[in-house]
Amino acid sequence: MTWADVAQTIASALVPLLSVAPGGWLTLQGTRSTQKLQLEEEKARRHADKLEQLVLAVHEQDHWLDRVRSEVYGGEAVKEIPPGARVDAIAAIYFPEAALQVRVLDAAVADYVAWAAKATLKRAQGDIMWLLPKLGVAF
Whole-structure pTM value: 0.63
Percent of the chain with pLDDT over 90: 31
Question: Do the domain assignments include residue 131?
Answer: no
pLDDT for 35-53, tens place per residue? 778 888 998 899 999 999 9
Residue-range definition of the domain harbouring residue 88: 9-122
Instruction: Please measure the distance between the N-terminal and C-terminal CA atoms of the chain and give it in whole angstroms.
Output: 119
Residue 8 has a CB neighbour count (10 Å cut-off) of 12
The number of distinct structural domains making up the chain is 1
Question: Do the domain assignments include residue 127?
Answer: no
pLDDT at 96: 93
pLDDT for 49-84, tens place per residue? 999 999 999 999 999 988 888 888 777 888 888 888
Question: Do the domain assignments include residue 130?
Answer: no
Q: What is the mean pLDDT of residues 90-115?
A: 91
Question: Do the domain assignments include residue 70?
Answer: yes
Please, are residues 65 and 75 in contact by the beta-carbon 8 Å criterion? no
Question: Do the domain assignments include residue 60?
Answer: yes
Alpha-carbon distance of 103 to 87, in angstroms, equals 10
pLDDT at 139: 42
